Amino acid sequence: MAMENMNGQIVNAAIGEPKKMKSCHQCRKLRSDAVGNCVTKKGAKTCVLKYCPRCLLTRYGEIGEEVAVNNNWVCPKCREICNCSSCRNNKGEKPTGKLTTTAKKNGCSNVSEFLKKEGSDKYFYRRKGKCAEEINDSSAGCSEENAAARTKPVLKEKEEFQLEEVRLPQGIGSITVSSVDLHPENAGSVLQFLEFCLTFREALGLRDGQADLVVREVLSGSQEHSTLTQTIIQLLSLTLVDRGDISVGLSATDDRWFTILGKCLVESEVKLDDFPPEMFQKGISEYEEMDSLQKLKLLNFVCDEALGTSVMRNFIENPEYVEKKKKAEEKLNAAEAREKQLYKKIKDDFAKAEANNHGVALTIEQRVAIISQMSAESEEVHFEKKKALEMQSKSQEYNDALRTHPVELDDNGLILWNLKSYNEEPTILLQDLGSCSDICPHEKWYSFSSEQKPQVEKYITFKRKKCRLEKKMEKKEKKRKTILQ
């Protein structure tokens, strides 16, 4: 079940969502070409913000290709120069709107340079139809002719591409599963485990009702966890045998399973801060004092470890899948190698041009001109990588019976699911991962009432239509640029 857990990690393969898509912090759109590896540390966490090449160039005068290979890059937000609407609002400033055209008319190559030159409080965004989209706060307005000239194209575009906004109704902070009311913050862990059990019940040989009984035991707070302990041992033994450690015979009456579980956790790539290594050396008493959320995390950890065993992989994979996966990896490796060559070529051309310019740094316009000369090759490389990623995504899809795909994704960290383990009406659940700018997001889960079902369905329809229209707009813009060239 591939969903983000409480620590922001991707876990369990029974649920999946699109990979390689990152949200641009500036325009908030999910992009496959968003770049940036900010080195700023916030506590123990490193900043994860990305920006798309267009926003980097028009808003800050930075070249996306250079940012992608810069190992010492600090993002605009961490430099405290970010001019996106969210950051400006947080500083008590008004959003600027596009402002790119105005910046160029005033002799500036990007919005950041323009705001620094003119003052960040002079220009702000007003709704279309009120004379202009980007307005100087000190101006007295504009003529009726200019207002009409600006308004007409906006209205035409709205009629063709804009939809009436539909909002998702407020979810209910209570989810009932297996006759148990789940809290929004631990519902994800319970659903993750139940979905795993439903998907791999046959491969694991689970008894009827075993998963439901485990959930009730965990959430009841009882110190007697016979079914829970047996299930952990069952999954842990599967992993140990796969590693060749057949000498270890674990049972619920033998407390060694807890120590061995801690050893597996240390050896794994998963890092759960709630479980320091010394905890498992103190004995089973530490396990008995854990709260329900901690036990669910351990339970899902052994589920994830079991997914890597040969028993589970043989159940999931087949020869056709393996061959497709191999070809997809080869194609992606070739595409990434060509992409690196292109970045190196651009970097070498920059260095050569600077040398011919007696060591004087190139202007933004000169850098853009060099990149433009490679536009055809760049588009080809981008297309090859996109196709390779699509091929890899398809090769990673297991049999539909083994996967649960999201009903709808929202770039604000909202995901709608229709899970096999949840059969209440309406069956749609909401997973809230928090804002893309959150350094340490905490997921929460919500359900909906039967009265909210029509609005939820209307929202899903709206999002899908909006996605199709955005693609249509992108094609139209690309066609327009091709004609102008």
Looking at residue 318, what is its pLDDT? 62
Name the pTM for this structure.
0.49
Q: Radius of gyration (Cα) for the chain, nearest Å? A: 27
In which residue ranges of the chain is pLDDT below 50? 1-18, 128-160, 398-401, 436-440
Tokens of 413: 């960290």
Helix (H, G, I), strand (E, B) or coil at 136: strand
Q: Is residue 117 a contact partner of residue 99, using CB atoms and an 8 Å limit?
A: no
Give the span between the Cα atoms of 123 and 355, in whole angstroms: 39
Q: How far apart are CA 301 and CA 264, in angstroms?
A: 10
Give the single-character DSSP code of 1.
Answer: -
The answer to whether 161 touches 472, Cβ cutoff 8 Å, is yes
Q: What's residue 140's pLDDT?
A: 36
pLDDT at 341: 86
pLDDT of residue 403: 63
Q: Residue holding tokens 């103190």?
A: 282
pLDDT computed for residue 222 by the predictor: 65
Exposure string of 298-316, with b = 16+ CB inside 10 Å and e = fewer, is: bbbbbbbbbbebebbeebb
Fill in the amino acid letter for 296: L
Q: Which helix (H) or strand (E) holds 158?
A: helix 144-161
Q: Please report the pLDDT score of residue 159 as a whole number.
A: 42
- Label the pairing between strands 123-125 and 175-177: unpaired
Write down the domain spans for the chain. Answer: 184-316, 336-397, 409-484
User: What tens digit of pLDDT does each residue of 237-280 get?
Assistant: 888 888 887 666 777 777 888 888 888 888 887 777 778 888 88
Rounded CA-CA distance 209/193 in Å is: 13
Say how far apart CA 39 and CA 49 lie, in whole Å: 10
- Digit-coded pLDDT (tens) for 9-46: 334 444 444 456 788 999 888 888 889 989 988 777 88
Which pLDDT belongs to residue 321?
63
**Please, are residues 237 and 247 in contact by the beta-carbon 8 Å criterion?**
no
Give residue 382's pLDDT: 77
Tokens of residue 447, six digits: 């359900």
Task: Say if residue 426 is preceded by a cis peptide, omega within 30 of 0.
Answer: yes
Q: Which two tokens stand for residue 151?
A: 């308004």
339 is written with which tokens?
Answer: 């992409």
Distance CA 282, CA 271 (A): 19
Distance CA 15, CA 405 (A): 6
pLDDT tens, residue by residue, 428-446? 999 887 654 444 456 788 8
Query: Encoding tokens for residue 137?
Result: 């706060």
Calpha distance 375→386 (Å, rounded): 16
Beta bridge partners of 444: 432
10-11 vs 22-23, strand pairing mode = unpaired
